Amino acid sequence: MKRVKWGWIWRRVGWTMLALCLLAAVCLAQNPTYQQDATWHAPADAASRPNPLSTKPQTAAGGRKLFIRNCVECHGKDGTGIETKHSADLQLPVVQQQSDGVFFWKITNGNTGRGMPSFSKMPELQRWQIVLYIRTLKQP
């Protein structure tokens, strides 16, 4: 009769449970109920403003650092938004279709009614770097 190696089985079950818990945490942390604020629109002149760093995509790496420091708390590390914070899922096509100028305006002015603070005191080029980084947040 062959002897069963229970230690191996328990390790396998433990890793499976850990993976399922992590998957559940990620799914619950996202904001699947995100709805855009229909009243939060950038003025036309702000929306058409070009990103002065658009020809320097390498600056998105700095934008990532700024995003982690200033935005992850509400938008999550992958930008999908955190449901309890009612924050935007930055990966959604409806969000990604907005112009760089709109993103810059929204970062600058915030939307305090929905919990988005203003980052107008952050240097302008750093805000543009965050915009570049947001562009890298695409749905898998």
pLDDT at 27: 45
* H helix intervals, 50-98: 60-70, 72-75, 93-96
pLDDT at 83: 86
State how far the alpha carbon of 125 is from the alpha carbons of 6, 56, 92, 130, in Å: 58, 12, 25, 9
Task: Please say whether the beta carbons of 95 and 36 come within 8 A.
Answer: yes
Residue with tokens 């002065």: 52
State how far the alpha carbon of 132 is from the alpha carbons of 1, 45, 63, 82, 86, in Å: 63, 19, 7, 21, 23
pLDDT at 114: 87
pLDDT at 138: 84
Token couple for 4: 């069963």
pLDDT at 25: 45
pLDDT at 50: 97
Residue type, 135: R
Residues 86-119: pLDDT tens digits? 899 999 999 999 999 999 999 999 998 888 999 9
Supply the pTM of this predicted model. 0.76
Q: Mean pLDDT, consecutive 10-residue segments, the chain of 140 residues?
A: 60 62 47 72 96 95 97 94 89 93 97 92 98 91
